[in-house]
A = this chain, B = another copy of it.
């Protein structure tokens, strides 16, 4: 058994069952091992941003790390932007990055690069295997690092000779350590804070999903506190019958208004709210200066246990939860496309158990309220602000949750970063309906240009913010990747297209022109 085979057996024994791959020469022994050994689903992406973003989406839906297979420094580099999003989402991923044979590195061949240096900014754990006999143990250590709560990016660099030389026996990664329990003092301090007026629970990490959200709802019912959540979370469970948190808005002025009345914020897997960007003359922190923060649980702590203890402390363990959304989808709108109308169509048609992957950027800022009363669904956000997340994450989410409808909401500018995802969706026949918001500009930047005090864009600046001359034509782009597509330019057409996409088994792309 060579090193590559020992690694594949180790990954499979450690329940890493999917490999998103874009291999090259230095990874051929790993590919050959995938061939020989049963138990790993291999999914090819035609660009590494697809590969890493898919691994992120897969983890968000399964709670299990996938492996990626990347070709030396440049292959890893192409995957970094979506690793950044995954890292900020606290997703677990095991990257396998090929490297030259150890003895070849000193010759500085064209692909030689500082792979550890490239990996480090986006990885919690980085290691280069030193010999084929180490590879199995290194692989198990990578899985253990990835699975450390709440989830980490582990990058194992595999020199070609450690893949092809004789390896050791496969190793099974140890089960992750349980999340550390929160101290009683923290629970009592949180309870005291919530007994004050103008208090909120601020949820993050797995705190935005059940059972944490139901506990938060019980506590809110008992204390009258509000429930807010970070602007972006890896995976929010929401919709009818679920406790709904109010996400901190992206726009600073709106966030300041939303949070302005608060005097107590209890952090549950969340960080204190900060602006996505800094703007001249505006604060970085979004809560009022007189607000007191109390940490109940960090993102890696036992969030559910802490909320149970807090509910007990407040006598709320069986209190019926507040902030539960009733089933009340919006009425179906018609006519001209507006952002509110798009949100209403989504809210009216979201199927039960849908997975919404949201990279709608500027178009989607109003989607939350009109979809909150749709049947229960999951909502996956861009957590690191690195665009090109949506299509790959939808790819991975669909792979990780077969039988569920995935709806990917994409800005046209964002979609272009990782459009190659469409081909993987077509190849794997993934049940993803994509909505491309074809406003033919980096619409968000028109607002940001003014928000940073740069005035009104002139000709050259406007050129940098718009996607016209030529406009992108999404129907042929989709078909070129093997994906069926349709266009909508009214809300009626959008509803018809969305129904059609949801009725399709396999990928379907809707170009929504407005």
Residues of A participating in the B interface, judged by any CB pair closer than 8 Å = 21, 23-26, 28-29, 31-32, 34-36, 42, 44, 46-47, 49, 72-75, 77-78, 80-81, 84-85, 88, 100-101, 103-104, 107-111, 113-114, 117-118, 120-122, 160-161, 164, 231-232, 271, 274-278, 280, 284-285, 382-388, 413, 416-417, 419-420, 423, 426-427, 444-445, 448-449, 451-455, 457-461, 463-465, 467, 469-482
Contact = CB atoms under 8 A, between A and B. Distances in A.
B164 A453 contact: yes
A464 B285 contact: no
Contact of A470 (B23, B29, B231, B423): B423
A78 B417 contact: yes
A383 B108 CA distance: 12
Contacts of A453: 164
Nearest to A83: B77
A81 to B, nearest CB: 4
B29 A452 contact: yes
Contact of A480 (B42, B80, B448, B477): B477
A461 B121 contact: no
A66 to B, nearest CB: 15
Given A77-B80, A108-B271, A476-B480, A449 B122 contact: no
A385 B99 CA distance: 13
Contact of A121 (B46, B49, B85, B117): B117
A276 to B, nearest CB: 6
B275 A104 contact: yes
A25 B448 contact: yes
Contact of A42 (B100, B232, B460): B460
Contact of A482 (B110, B427, B473): B473
Given A77-B84, A471-B482, A473-B479, 6 more contacts: A108-B274, A109-B385, A114-B120, A117-B121, A161-B280, A480-B480
